Structure 1
Amino acid sequence: MPKTVRIYIQSIDKLNKTMGYLLALMLLVMTVVIFAQIISRYLLGESLSWSEELARFIMVWGVFIGSAIATRYQSLIAVEILPQKLPERFAKWVKLLVYAIIIIFCYYLFSYGIDMVRQVILQKSPAMQISMAIPYSSVPIGTLLIFLNTVVVLFESLWKEEAE
């Protein structure tokens, strides 16, 4: 494996570690906010107007960040019946084709996500009054993270096959 590829993989792994900590913090914040909403609603008789919106936005960001990390460790749900039934050398090509399709999909989703952010940048969320670009930016940023991790998996797959 070339040195530049190893450096790229190590960089993405460090980024994923940071994203994992961020994801844990987001889950903690979401849990506290939802718990505060429950306490506020049932014990104090007042509802927090912003809590459900914040929890929803954190959840969306968390799904994209978690998907990127899961992509790196190949932990996403996948249908493996075709590669399992094919001879090993054909299965390798099917997996490479899948990675290529994911990369192409990421390109289009990233582009579409950027367009969405541009369209909503001046809109404000109903409860928190923040720019809707913040929750919508989870699409291009999350897609970029998924793309970077798919490239890592692709590189490892290519160089693993050469080593064998």
Structure 2
Amino acid sequence: MKLFLKFEAVTTGIALRGAIMFLLIATGLALYQVTTRFVFGQPSTWSEVITRSAMIWSVFLAVAPAFREGTMIAVEIVQKMLPPRLGFALYLVSMTMSLTFFGILFWQGWAMTERVVPQKLAALEISIAWVYAALPVGSIFILIAILGCMVRAMETGTIEPADVSR
């Protein structure tokens, strides 16, 4: 299990760095878009599309570190009101439901990505599948992070989040 937890820490770190990178790209291109539109009066046709796509990637990659750090919306107040063993069981049930949801999202995201391969992004000559690929790719990172949370919880008997910076 230690090997899996190390793997999970590495993959979640990759997802976090990817999310940061895409957020920086989106921020820079949004600034560029505003500048070209309102300062020069010549709006860029391509920067808005890439900004939106980078935001989508950023969100899907950031969910994995959010799970690892325990910053996703939780039923923590209910867990703390229950007896410890029942609260722990509720945590495992909620994580299992999250695994199910993101497993389905992976499967459907993969299918959607395959279906849109022939379509092109507006103002660009690249496939929109590159944007849709955020669903299955992000879901893989998220599934690994959730499994890591569950393994840590089973090993320690607590539901304390891990430090994403490790």
After the TM superposition, which residues 15-164 of structure 1 pair with which residues of structure 2 at under 5 Å, given as runs?
Answer: 15-161=11-157
After TM superposition, where is structure 1 displaced by more than 4 Å over at least 4 residues in a row? Answer: none
Answer 1 or 2: higher relative contact order, Cα 8 Å, separation at least 6. Answer: 2
SS at match of 1:30: helix
How many angstroms apart in 2 are the aligned matches of 1:106 and 1:38? 35
Partners of 1:105 and 1:43 in 2: CA distance: 45
Shift of 1:81: 2.6
1:110 Cα deviation (Å)? Answer: 0.9
Give the number of aligned pairs. Answer: 158
Structure 1, residues 73-99: CA drift from partner, whole Å, max 9, x if none?
Answer: 111122323212111111111111111
Q: How high is the sequence identity, in percent, across the aligned residues?
A: 27
Per-residue deviation, 1:42: 1.5
Counterpart-to-counterpart distance in 1, 2:7 and 2:143: 14
> Cα offset for 1:157?
0.4
- How far did residue 72 of structure 1 move? 1.2
Q: Which amino acid aligns with 1:93?
A: A
Q: CA deviation at 1:22?
A: 2.2
Q: 1:140-163 deviations in whole A, cap 9, x for unaligned? A: 11111111000000000001119x
* Unpaired segments ≥5 residues, structure 1: none
Residue 15 of structure 1 deviates from its aligned partner by 2.0
CA deviation profile, 1:31-64 (whole Å, cap 9, x unmatched): 1111111111122110001111111111111111
Counterpart residue type for residue 89 of structure 1: R
Normalising to structure 2: TM-score of the pair? 0.90
C-alpha RMSD of the superposition: 1.4
Matching residue's letter, 1:115 = A
Whole-Å separation in 2 of the counterparts to 1:106 and 1:39: 38
TM-score normalized by the length of structure 1: 0.91
Q: Distance in 2 between matches of 1:102 and 1:142?
A: 14
